[in-house]
């Protein structure tokens, strides 16, 4: 424990320098060339800090960022752990010109610092610290994807295939007000389109069938399906329709975001969407889209992972909390496979997707030390997935 703490404290300047260099590699989700350059930098940096991976695979992301899978052999430990980190950000190319990386006291700001470039720096330095302290490390599979911020369309099947044989999955997304994430909601993204019949709104109002009238009724039905007590929110975020004020609208479209805490609520929302029907003859209602991420429940295995982190924090003289959040991550995919997942191991700070995005440097060091101890315990203990399964029998 003391060796890990000392190693991390001594590495403060190097960790900050690594994060600054990483932030200066702009990696917007929608710029393939920038993503390619960013991933090349990340792979070179990881190899410099940890040595060449024992095995490396690159999966073509098509129009999105490629997925890199780096396998690091066990050193003195048993089992296999996956670490998930995405290298894309929401910030467009050129953001750094108007918002350069800056440090003021304990705060470091810059595009992508909180979500989630600090997380990868922390994961890599946690492995270094665990090695330096002689902790038994399991085999580690580092999965890096460049399309998380747009829903992981290319990387989802790769992530699912690469983590399925792991004993535990650690996700270095940012914390939630310092808390680790042991449950996440499932996310659905839907497009509802109403079709009507155009007509002259003044000369012949009875011949037209308004798509806007139809979509307005749909919006009321969707918003009425929210049940915050059950953990379900339904939000129509954008609404478009019609062509002119004197024309009965022929089409109208609503974009809908849905968050659910369990599969029963997901089934209820599916049924509601399937039952949407037009109010008037001549109109039609169509639903497209689907569930972007499954629910990540707080499973027994996840609870055991949190207990490891809680114990590690206590040994380091600090405290960690757990929380359930409405946002989703790639950890949702792993949890849907029945794997123990501990999320939010990344930055302590605030401002995801906002211009005030920042991280605590002290928090970066603290969480790196906690992660190092967690990895050491995973390498020396009975695999979490097996232990959780045995406990439930």
Catalytic residues, by residue number, are 88, 148
Largest CA distance in the chain: 84
Burial zone of 209 (CB within 10 Å; 0-12 exposed, 13-18 middle, 19+ buried):
buried
Q: In the structure encoding, which two tokens stand for residue 70, read together?
A: 């780096």
What does 213-242 look like in DSSP terms, one character per residue? HHHHHHHHHHHHT-BGGGTBEEEEEEEEE-
- Residue 18, CA distances (Å) to 21, 25, 88, 128 in order: 5, 11, 17, 14
242: phi > 0 → left, psi -120 to 50 → alpha, else beta; which? left
Q: Report residue 327: phi and psi, to 5°.
A: -75, 160
Q: Which residues of 23-61 are buried (b: 16+ CB within 10 A; e: fewer)?
A: bebbbbbbbbebbeebbebbbebbeeebeebeeeeebeb
- Residue 168, CA distances (Å) to 139, 140, 371 in order: 11, 10, 13
Contact residues for 164 (Cβ-Cβ < 8 A; gap 6+): 337, 339
Rounded to whole angstroms, the Cα distance separating 91 from 23 reads: 11
User: Using N-to-C axis directions, what is the helix angle for 361-380 and 118-132, rounded to 10°?
Assistant: 50
Q: Is the peptide bond before 116 cis (omega within 30 degrees of 0)?
A: yes
Q: Taking a C-beta distance cutoff of 8 angstroms, is the pair 304, 374 a contact?
A: no
Q: Taking a C-beta distance cutoff of 8 angstroms, is the pair 41, 65 a contact?
A: no
């Amino acid at each position: 424990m003391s060796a890990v703490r000392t190693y991390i404290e001594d590495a403060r300047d190097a960790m900050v320098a690594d994060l600054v260099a990483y932030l200066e590699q702009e990696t917007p989700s929608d710029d393939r060339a920038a993503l390619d350059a960013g991933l090349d930098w990340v792979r070179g940096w990881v190899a410099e800090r940890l040595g060449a991976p024992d095995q490396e695979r690159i999966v073509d992301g098509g129009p999105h960022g490629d997925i890199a899978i780096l396998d690091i052999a066990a050193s003195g430990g048993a089992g296999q752990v996956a670490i998930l980190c995405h290298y894309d950000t929401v910030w467009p190319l050129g953001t750094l010109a108007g918002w350069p990386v800056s440090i003021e006291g304990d705060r470091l700001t810059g595009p992508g610092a909180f979500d989630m470039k600090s997380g990868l720096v922390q994961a890599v330095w946690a492995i270094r610290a665990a090695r330096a302290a002689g902790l038994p490390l399991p085999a580690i599979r580092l999965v890096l994807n460049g399309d998380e911020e747009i829903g992981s369309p290319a990387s989802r099947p790769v992530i699912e295939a690469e983590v399925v044989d792991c004993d535990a999955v650690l996700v270095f997304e940012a914390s939630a007000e310092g808390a680790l994430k042991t449950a996440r909601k499932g996310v659905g993204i839907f497009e509802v389109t109403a079709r009507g019949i155009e007509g002259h709104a003044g000369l012949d109002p009875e011949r037209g069938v308004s798509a806007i009238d139809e979509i307005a009724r749909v919006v009321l039905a969707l918003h009425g399906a929210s049940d915050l007590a059950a953990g379900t929110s339904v939000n129509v975020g954008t609404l478009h329709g019609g062509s002119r004020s004197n024309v009965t609208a022929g089409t109208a479209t609503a974009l809908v975001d849905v968050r659910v805490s369990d599969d029963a609520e997901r089934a209820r929302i599916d049924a509601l969407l399937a039952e949407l029907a037009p109010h008037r003859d001549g109109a039609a209602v169509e639903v497209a889209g689907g569930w972007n991420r499954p629910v990540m429940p707080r499973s027994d295995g996840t609870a055991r992972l949190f207990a490891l982190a809680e114990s590690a924090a206590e040994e380091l003289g600090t405290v960690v909390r757990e929380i359930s959040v409405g946002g989703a991550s790639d950890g949702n995919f792993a949890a849907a496979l029945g794997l123990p997942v501990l999320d939010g191991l990344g930055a302590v700070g605030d401002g995801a997707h906002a211009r005030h995005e920042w991280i605590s440097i002290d928090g970066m060091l603290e969480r790196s030390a906690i992660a190092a101890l967690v990895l050491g315990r995973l390498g020396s203990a009975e695999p979490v997935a097996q232990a959780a399964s045995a406990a439930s029998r």
